[in-house]
């Protein structure tokens, strides 16, 4: 039976030790942290995981480790779709499909670039999609990810409708960062089994109001529980939800300060992981971005403040 893949889905970090090797104990602790904070699924091996800097063996090992650690509590999806040529892409996707994950996520910019002409673009997309999925298990749910690296390639309406008509596809990680586009896409997939999972914090509150059930943004690495409350209980607590949405948007605006190392520094503060080493961001971001420690402290304090507000509200509704 297919598992529903939607909701609050953190894009997982890959912890390393100070020498750059994968820290498996840290990864296990991080997975347990996500689950304790209300994650409804986990997206292993994505851009936040530094997948472009992982070998194929490392990518599949992370996926297998995550599946084993989660032990069926929530769905685990993974991508690792980084190769340039269709044969190499097909091989890496097939290897990932064999790891026991609940869903395999393809990357839109790996399939086809921004081809000129509406018809040429759509036909190129369908052909590329068919080429890389032909050898995949027919019963494995699939997703599409508008990963912004090496370039952002948004799906067209025709492509989304095509995916909605194919029962194999169950989710799109939307990186349009545009509420109008998200709202239109929700209309395009209505009645199908395809979920639109927004990734932008600034529009998360409004996207929930528009009918989006999911959030798959990078700041699920800081406070996934607050996004889940915003979706589940925010509609009944408008004043607190509006204030929380502002905090979440402002906190997420720090992403440019060296993410994903930024999130690793945060988890180092929490004690989840030991090292903030990042293959994707090798520079010292504390030196590069002045007062970064103070910024992380304020993000932590803000999260604690809203958790206290939520706790008080639940005690005295």
Q: What is the pLDDT of residue 113?
A: 65
Contacts of 202 (CB under 8 A, 6+ apart): 177, 249, 252, 253
Q: Does the CA dihedral 126-89-52-296 come out positive or negative? A: positive
d(CA 172, CA 79): 12
Percent of the chain at pLDDT > 90 equals 93
Percent of the chain at pLDDT > 70 equals 97
Q: Crossing angle, helix 157-164 and helix 179-189, to 10 degrees?
A: 40
For the chain, what is the mean pLDDT? 95
Q: Is 271 left (phi over 0), alpha (psi -120 to 50) or beta?
A: left
Structure tokens at 302: 């803000």
Residue 80, pLDDT > 80, answer yes
CB 181 within 8 A of CB 198: no
Q: What is the pLDDT of residue 121?
A: 79
pLDDT single digits (tens) 167-202: 999 999 999 999 999 999 999 999 999 999 999 999
Q: What is the pLDDT of residue 118?
A: 54
CB 159 within 8 A of CB 181: no
Q: How confident is the model at residue 122 (pLDDT cuts 50, 70, 90)?
A: confident
d(CA 194, CA 14): 28
d(CA 72, CA 117): 44
Q: Of all residues in the chain, what percent are helix, strand and coil, respectively (each to 5)? A: 50, 10, 40
pLDDT single digits (tens) 28-37: 999 999 999 9
Structure tokens at 5: 């893949």
pLDDT single digits (tens) 96-121: 999 999 999 999 999 986 554 455 67
Please compute, for residue 297, the number of CA atoms within 13 A of its CA located in the half-sphere on the CB side. 5
Query: Where do the domains of the chain lie?
Result: 24-315
Residue 43, pLDDT > 70, answer yes
Q: What is the pLDDT of residue 164?
A: 96
CATH for 24-315, options being 3.20.20.70, 3.40.50.720, 2.130.10.30, 3.40.50.1100: 3.20.20.70
Q: What is the pLDDT of residue 114?
A: 56
Q: How confident is the model at residue 10 (pLDDT cuts 50, 70, 90)?
A: very high
Q: What is the pLDDT of residue 123?
A: 86
Tracing tokens 């040429």 back to the chain, one arrives at 120
Residue 24, pLDDT > 70, answer yes
Residue 160, pLDDT > 70, answer yes
pLDDT single digits (tens) 225-244: 999 999 999 999 999 999 99
Structure tokens at 164: 């909605």
Structure tokens at 197: 């999972």
Look at the chain and count its residues: 317
Q: In whole angstroms, how far apart are CA 143 and each of 6, 113, 140, 195, 231?
A: 11, 18, 10, 9, 22
d(CA 269, CA 239): 30
Q: How confident is the model at residue 2 (pLDDT cuts 50, 70, 90)?
A: low
Q: What is the pLDDT of residue 119?
A: 54
Mean pLDDT value across residues 307-313: 97
Residue 173 three-state SS: strand
């Amino acid at each position: 039976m297919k598992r529903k893949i939607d909701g609050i889905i953190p894009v997982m970090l890959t912890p390393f030790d100070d020498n750059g090797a994968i820290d498996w104990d840290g990864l296990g602790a991080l997975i347990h942290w996500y689950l304790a904070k209300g994650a409804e699924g986990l997206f292993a091996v994505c851009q936040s995981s530094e997948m472009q800097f992982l070998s194929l063996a490392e990518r599949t090992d992370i996926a297998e480790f995550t599946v084993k650690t989660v032990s069926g509590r929530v769905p685990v999806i993974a991508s690792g779709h980084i190769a340039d040529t269709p044969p190499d892409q097909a091989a890496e996707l097939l290897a990932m499909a064999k790891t026991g994950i609940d869903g395999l996520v393809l990357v839109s910019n790996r399939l086809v670039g921004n081809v000129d002409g509406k018809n040429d673009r759509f036909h190129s997309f369908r052909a590329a999609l068919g080429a890389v999925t032909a050898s995949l298990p027919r019963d494995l749910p699939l997703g599409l990810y508008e990963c912004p690296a090496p370039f952002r390639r948004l799906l067209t309406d025709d492509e989304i409708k095509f995916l909605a008509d194919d029962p194999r596809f169950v989710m799109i990680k939307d990186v349009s960062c545009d509420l109008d586009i998200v709202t239109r896409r929700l209309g395009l997939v209505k009645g199908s089994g395809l979920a639109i999972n927004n990734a932008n914090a600034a529009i998360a509150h409004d996207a929930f109001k528009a009918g989006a059930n999911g959030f798959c943004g990078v700041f699920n690495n800081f406070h996934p529980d607050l996004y889940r409350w915003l979706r589940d209980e925010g509609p009944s607590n408008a004043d607190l939800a509006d204030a929380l949405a502002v905090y979440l948007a402002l906190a997420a605006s720090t992403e440019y300060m060296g993410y994903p190392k930024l999130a690793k520094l945060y988890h180092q503060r929490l004690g989840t992981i030991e090292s903030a080493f990042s293959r994707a961001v090798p520079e010292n971001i504390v030196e590069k971005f002045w007062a970064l420690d103070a910024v992380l402290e304020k993000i932590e304090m803000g999260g604690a403040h809203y958790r206290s507000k939520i706790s008080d509200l639940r005690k005295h509704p």
